[in-house]
Structures are given as C-alpha cells and as structure tokens.
Amino acid sequence: MRNLIRTKSVYSVLKVLVRPEAKRSRAAFNQKALDISFSRLRYFADIATMTDRELDDTQLNLLQEECILVDRNDKNIGSASKKTCHLLKNIDEGMLHRAFSVFLFNKQGELLIQQRSDAKITFPGHWTNTCCSHPLNVTGELEEAAAVGVRRAAQRKLKHELGIEPEQVPVDGFHYLTRIHYRSNNVPDDKTWGEHEIDYILLSQRDVDIVPNENEVKDYKFVSKKDLKELIAKADAEGILLTPWFRLVANKFLFDWWEHLNNVDQYNDHATIHRM
C-alpha cells in the first residue's frame, strides 16, 4: 500500500508538470512530456519516495555535497553525495563515509552542546555534541596527514552551524584524539535515512562567540560534567533525544577526556578505529 501511495505521489508530480499541455493535441502533449528533463523527473521521483516528512529546501540542497567514501580501514575509495551516503538502502549494502564530531569546551571547562534543528533530515531535534558533520571531497578537506582535512572541515562547519569565526577556532587548535565506526537508523525511523560513518573525534578548549544558524541549530548550551551526566541519565525517561554517536562517545570516552583537558593528547589513539 505504501509503495502504491508513493507511486501515486510521483504520478501527481508529473501530472502537475504537464498540466498546461492537457488541452493541446495528444501529439503536442507527448512531445512536451518528452522534452521534460529526465534528471528532473528522477529528482521528483526520489523526493516523493524519500519520506513522509516534509523536507526542508535548504537541507535538501545540502544533500548535494560530496562526502568521502571509505572502507572499514578509513581508506579513501571515492566520493558520493550526502544524500547517497545517508540512504538506508546504500548503508545496508555497506556504504561508509568519513565524518567528524567536535567537542568544544570553554575556559571554565564546560562543554558546548547543541540541539539539532527540526529541519534536519537526520536526527532532528536531538541534542548532540558541539558540531557533527563531514569533510567533503574538495581540495583542502581531502588532506589526510595529521587529519588536517577533517580539522579544516570542522572549522568550516562551526562557522556554518554556530557562527563561530575561523580565527576563534584555528585548525591547529583541534586535538584529533581517535576514530569511531558506528551505524544507526534515523530517529524517527523513517525507513529511508541513516548514518554509517568513521567519525573523527576532535576536541578543543577556547572561548568563542556564538551566532547560531536556525536552520541547523534549534538550541545550544554549555554544560558541566554533572549537567551532562544528569541529562544522559534522564534522557530516555523524559523523552529527551540524544544522537547515537554522542551517547556512544559520552558513555565510553568523554568523561575521562574531560578530567584531563590540560593534557588531553595523552589519549591520542590514531591507530585504532573503535567499532561501536
């Protein structure tokens, strides 16, 4: 039944596209249909079958970004659009891409966390670490030595999501600690989207000015260790949504790092990809 509804939705879109021609001759009608770009028809068909939730135009445009495809050992094996990387049908076939998660602390030792905008396609309304995104298949962000490409991407996205100026978060100010490999279906589970990433964990401590992008960030706050432990403990019972990668990192690593912000490089583990 759901496939039938989707098929009708695609038909409806096509019908709208050719409606002005309906009163012309059948020959003219058929010619107009042939003239419509195949790629445009495919685009509408894909959108109609993506999800029942209305998708935000800005977030849809971001799906065109080219992410870096990797194998299980984080070797670059090509690229694919953000949309392609996050479709469950591709994840189920093993598609894996590179990502990063930033944990930004202020000088008082509080962690900046954000609540993802309701416009986000994956994990809308979820609380998560400071910034989570992907290095792109572009010059500068492909550079792998010392994870400098990932760190450049982190600087770019902190500006995009939270309005933090690049000079406040210099590339060499990120501590690259380790990598995690995780997979998760989207929440709410729409049977369409998911995550399958090798995620670089970056930590920095500095005071910054925040001007959030409302299309990306619904809310943000600085939390102490005690605050975050309480948030995680009550999240499920109170319906507070947490991203899976944030929960995984917090439960396994974060609080040890937090105790040693002045010497966090002791936790550097670049050889291991933690399978979670």
Please give the average per-residue pLDDT across 236-248, as a whole number: 97
Identified catalytic residue from 141, 161, 197, 216: 197
Query: What amino acid occupies position 85?
Result: C
**What is residue 26's predicted lDDT score, i.e. its pLDDT?**
54
Whole-angstrom distance, CA of residue 132 vs CA of residue 59: 15
Report residue 100 as tokens: 């990063």
Closest CA to 130 of 217, 241, 29, 23: 217
Using only C-alpha atoms, the chain has a radius of gyration, in whole angstroms, of 21
> What is the value of pTM for the model shown?
0.81
Please give the average per-residue pLDDT across 146-165, as a whole number: 98
144 is catalytic: no
pLDDT, greater one: 205 or 21:
205
Question: What are the pLDDT digits (tens) for 71-103?
Answer: 999 999 999 999 999 999 999 999 999 999 999
Contact 119, 108 (CB under 8 A): no
Query: What amino acid occupies position 235?
Result: A
Cα atoms in the Cβ-side hemisphere of radius 13 Å centred on 164: 21
Identified catalytic residue from 67, 132, 141, 195: 132
Confidence class for position 31, pLDDT limits 50, 70, 90:
low
**What is residue 158's predicted lDDT score, i.e. its pLDDT?**
98
67 is catalytic: no
Contact 232, 250 (CB under 8 A): yes
Residue 200 confidence (pLDDT) above 50: yes
**What is residue 53's predicted lDDT score, i.e. its pLDDT?**
59
Contact 63, 192 (CB under 8 A): no
Whole-angstrom distance, CA of residue 245 vs CA of residue 129: 9
Tokens 């002045």 belong to 262
